[in-house]
Structure 1
């Protein structure tokens, strides 16, 4: 599945993400994550995000599209989203609560579309923005807004964060290829994915 207009943004060049991604450092049975690609692929790429993190936005807009084109669309990998509300502000919890409500009620594709488009409002998040983005995607904006306001999926997010911490996540975005965290300041994730596919 293509991520709306975002997919076009990062396809121009090989990714140099050290400066862009380094900025946001800071349970045994994790929740089922939203997944793209082949859910039964031999290689799994897991990305932990905080929707308040500028580096996560950079990753989603500039790095993800190349991964999507090369590996997700071709069915070579399982790509998992996990939440890690690292910055711990209101929107670190409210935005993923809205996204998880959409995942629960509208499905996987709707989740990924919302998770991409909501980044347009990073720096000016509001409950109105949550509702607007959902409505523009023909989703239930009122339900997404309510989930954000009430943080109705906070316990699920806490479980995801705990799972990430237990696996060594200390900041966002954090990218794992087959369970091994990669250093985004030194390595292009596509290099590690290629190696895992060999």
Structure 2
């Protein structure tokens, strides 16, 4: 079938894939949670909105393969950045909770939390946030408070501003050493996303 660039509809806004990265921003961004090798020559940066269904599919269906192929061997530095675009309170509250997990319970707990919480997309609630936080070794009550109060909103806003300064406008956006991965229409989003992201990483590793 002919492959054409596709814009995916979110809750109240258009979210898509494959924007072209612009010039680097001049301001220092917030410290990102990092998986893989922090000192690797290849950096994969993924901008996510926790209310975006394609971000969920990428994290749950693509990230595990990337982790096995590139992160565990230490070939890639994998960065998470927040980019709320969907008109939902959870687009701000979930990343505030995740940032609190990161700061209070550490990097490993952050990655566990941000994976497990996606299972509740469409039915997010504070009880789920607290429960998942407890499961990953964080203080569930404190994480719930961080979500309700959006206590890390300024950090999330800074992440989004940094993304915008780099040409990001949609989620998920995947950058490999600053270059956007182009994802096109496919009947199997996860397979296509894995194929294109892996190809971009392989090219960067050469």
Say yes or no: TM over 0.5.
yes
Partner Cα distance (2:9, 2:205) in 1: 29
Give the structure 1 partner of residue 188 of structure 2.
none
Whether contact under 8 Å (1:23, 1:55) holds in the other structure is no
User: 1:94 maps to which residue?
Assistant: 93
Q: Matches of 1:181 and 1:191 in 2, distance apart?
A: 12
Partner of residue 60, structure 1? 59
Alpha-carbon distance in 1 for matches of 2:180, 2:111: 22
Aligned equivalents of 2:42, 2:9: Cα separation in 1? 27
Within a 5 Å distance, the mapping from 1:4-19 to structure 2 comes to none
Deviation at 1:138, TM superposition (A): 2.8
Output the CA distance in 1 between the equivalents of 2:168 and 2:40: 23
Aligned residues: 180
- The answer as to whether partners of 2:105 and 2:137 remain within 8 angstroms in 1 is no
User: CA separation of 1:22/1:184 partners in 2, compared to 1, >3 Å: closer, same or farther?
Assistant: farther
CA contact (8 A) 1:22 1:184 kept: no
**Structure 1 residue 111, shift from structure 2 partner:** 0.3
For 1:184 and 1:163, locate their aligned partners in 2 and report how far apart those are by CA, in whole Å.
22
Matches of 2:155 and 2:106, distance apart in 1? 17
CA RMSD of aligned residues (A): 1.7
- Structure 1 unaligned spans of 5+: 1-17
Normalised by the length of structure 2, the TM-score is 0.83
Matches within 5 A, 1:1-198: 22-24=8-10, 25=15, 28-185=27-184, 188-198=196-206
For residue 132 of structure 1, report the CA deviation from its aligned partner.
1.1
* SS in structure 2 of the partner of residue 188 of structure 1: helix
Distance in 1 between residues matched to 2:9 and 2:60, nearest whole Å: 16
TM-score for both structures, normalised by structure 1: 0.86
Q: Which runs of 5+ in 2 are unaligned?
A: 17-24, 186-194
**Structure 2 contact 50–118 (Cα < 8 Å) conserved:** yes
Distance 1:81 1:35 in 2: 7
* TM-superposed deviation, 1:125: 0.4
